[in-house]
C-alpha cells in the first residue's frame, strides 16, 4: 500500500486522537491538517516497515504541544462549547445517548493533558502500554500510572454526573 493511501486510512483515528487532545472539533481538524502536511513534507523520515500510525500520533502530539506552548505565550482563549450549537434529535434514546456522550466528552476534557493523552491512546485507540510509551516518549511505568490516575479521575467525574 502506498504511503498516501495508508495516511488516508488513518485519518479517522488520527482525528479522534486530535479531538481528545484539543477538546475541540475545529481545533482537532486544524491539528490533523497540520500533521498531514508535516507528514507529507517529511515522508522520507518515515521508515518503510515501521508503524505509520505511531509516527503520525507522535507528529500530532508534538504539533499540539508546540501549539499549546505558543498559546501560552499569546494567552488562552475559550472555545465555544460544541453542545451549545447542536440541536437535539426527537427520540428519547438519542437524547440520552447524546447526554452520555456529552458527559464522557466533558469528563475527558477535565483530565490533565498527560492523563488524557494516555487514556486516548490506550483506552480509545487500543494501543498497548509499550506502544503508547513509545509514542509519548515516556517510560512504560509513566504510562501505567497516568492511565490509572486517568481512569480513577474519569470514574469520579462520571460518578458525579450520574
End-to-end CA distance of the chain: 46
Nearest to 128 by CA among 140, 111, 113, 114: 140
Phi, psi of 71 (to 5 degrees): -65, -35
Dump pLDDT digits (tens) for 5-40.
899 999 999 999 999 889 888 999 999 999 999 999
Sign of the torsion formed by the C-alpha atoms of 94, 85, 157 and 132: positive
Place of cell 523520515: 45
**45 DSSP 8-state letter:** G
The full set of domain ranges for the chain reads: 1-79, 90-162
Sign of the torsion formed by the C-alpha atoms of 26, 29, 35 and 38: negative
Report pTM. Answer: 0.64
Least confidently predicted of 66-75, 129-138, 143-152: 66-75
pLDDT of residue 92: 47
Least confidently predicted of 55-69, 79-93, 135-149: 79-93
- The CATH classification number of 1-79 equals 1.10.1740.10
| Coil/strand/helix, residue 49 | coil
pLDDT of residue 70: 82
Second-level CATH architecture of 90-162: Orthogonal Bundle (1.10)
C-beta of residue 125 within 8 angstroms of C-beta of residue 94: no
Dump pLDDT digits (tens) for 32-57.
999 999 999 999 998 888 899 999 99
Dump pLDDT digits (tens) for 144-161.
999 999 999 998 888 875
Q: For residue 80, what pLDDT band results from cuts at 50, 70 and 90?
A: very low
Amino acid at each position: 500500500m502506498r504511503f498516501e493511501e495508508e495516511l488516508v486510512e488513518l485519518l479517522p483515528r488520527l482525528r479522534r486522537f486530535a479531538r481528545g487532545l484539543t477538546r475541540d472539533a475545529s481545533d482537532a481538524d486544524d491539528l490533523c491538517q497540520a500533521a498531514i502536511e508535516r507528514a507529507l513534507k517529511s515522508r522520507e523520515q518515515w521508515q518503510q516497515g515501521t508503524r505509520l500510525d505511531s509516527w503520525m500520533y507522535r507528529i500530532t502530539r508534538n504539533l499540539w504541544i508546540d501549539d499549546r506552548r505558543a498559546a501560552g505565550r499569546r494567552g488562552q482563549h475559550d472555545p465555544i462549547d460544541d453542545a451549545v450549537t447542536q440541536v437535539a434529535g426527537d427520540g428519547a434514546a438519542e437524547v440520552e445517548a447524546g447526554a452520555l456522550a456529552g458527559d464522557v466528552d466533558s469528563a475527558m476534557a477535565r483530565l490533565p493533558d498527560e492523563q488524557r493523552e494516555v487514556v486516548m491512546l490506550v483506552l480509545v485507540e487500543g494501543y498497548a502500554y509499550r506502544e503508547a510509551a513509545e509514542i509519548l516518549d515516556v517510560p512504560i511505568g509513566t504510562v501505567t500510572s497516568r492511565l490509572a490516575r486517568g481512569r480513577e479521575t474519569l470514574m469520579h467525574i462520571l460518578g458525579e454526573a450520574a
